Amino acid sequence: MRPRAGSWAISGTLGNLEEAARRSVDERIWGYIQGGAGGERTLRSNEAAFRRWTVWPELLTGVTSVDLGTSLLGQVVSAPFFVAPTAYHREVNPEGELATAAAAGALGILGVYSTLSSDSLEAIAETTGSGPRWFQLYLQPQFDVSAELVRRAERAGYGAVVVTVDTPVLGSRDRQEESGFALRQAIAVGNGPTVRSPARGPTWDGGPCRLGDAAEVSWKTLNAIGRVSSLPLVVKGVLRPETARRAVDAGARAVIVSNHGGRQLDVAPAALDALPAVVDAVDGRAEVYLDGRVRRGSDAVVALALGARAVGLGRPVLWALAAGGKEGVARYLRLFGTELANSLVLAGRSSVGQVDRGLVRPAPPEPTGASPPSEDRAATAPTRPRHAGRHLPSRRA
């Protein structure tokens, strides 16, 4: 039976979305969604990076309308933000990726759908209809499995293949483990029984560590994926300028600046901090996107001003799915777009193409003793939600 959308899908705001989601899912799923790697320093850095920039509005520009439309790899989209790839949507809400895809597709928002989606890439494509969609690839231990996923995506009408390169193994995720969500037991994914999650990290017992059955994440493998199909290649997980240059030299049409939401290498730089140097290194030869802790429309303005062509929305899409299913995701995307449009008007811009680096400046240093980031682990430690388990299967992951 299809669950009724929660009240957030009717009257919620961006400000109370996170709390609405927290009350809608089990503690173990909340730990999976929210958790970062290790001590979560990078998770906190992603947020802190946005506080280091301010938008300086240009007034008296006579703005009478605002257009969020743009194109990504030549494909027209309604706004410069996209649904970032995240796994296991049916663990968050039984409507799964089909709800996410239906909401994004109806609004003309690009959806990037994970190898580890609960629903098959073909079912997602059918639900998306004519809406823009790309396929995210986790490289598999057997190259033939990776290649067949790419071919399936091409047959299903996906517009690009996004290869995630920052997961040779999974990061150490304490909060996820403490919440009871672990990947020791396989979670069914829609793309078939041969598809695997990235391998768990090595276990040290005093001698050399072996990675076991991990996929080969290398330039050789990336080049081979690029030859599998005619789909444009996008490389996700880039932080170093030289990596971006080499990816473009290898044929990448776009790179996504990302630290995997702070879930891989703790103490990696904030994605926003890495963005300007990557933009400069690519020098217009490929498109650059940012995926890392974008929460408000004004965050998107900062990222666009620093050179991103579009920004990814990760955890908030899962929050919206948890809080209200398909209607929740649709409301969230509309609210985000509305706030972005409002921010552009207030900044004196009538389109995303008018946003440039002159619109932002470094913020003054925060005073000593300023409040810590809201996503600090102590502030967001999971507690048992009031409606625990309402959207979850009985099986424990």
Residues catalogued as catalytic: 260
Backbone CA torsion sign across 185, 191, 192, 194? negative
Q: Which helix (H) or strand (E) holds 339?
A: helix 315-347
Residue 274: CB atoms within 10 A of its CB come to 23
DSSP state of 161: E
What's CA 301's distance to the chain center, in Å? 17
Interatomic CA distance for residues 385 and 15, integer angstroms: 18
Between the alpha carbon of residue 281 and those of residues 241, 245, 286, the distances in Å are: 5, 6, 10
- Under DSSP, the state recorded for 235 is E
Cα–Cα distance list, 274 to 239, 258, 306, 375 (Å): 6, 9, 10, 20
First to last CA, the chain: 23
Record the tokens describing residue 357, joined without a space.
């680096």
Per DSSP, 83 falls in state: E
- Per DSSP, the three-state class of 163 is strand
- Three-state DSSP state, 209: coil
Contact 264, 41 (CB under 8 A): no
Q: At what angle do helices 271-282 and 241-249 cross, to 10 degrees?
A: 40
- Distance in angstroms (rounded) separating the CA atoms of residues 205 and 261: 29
Burial 11-46 (b: 16+ CB within 10 A, else e): ebebeebbebbbbbbbbbbbbbbbbbbbebbbbbbb
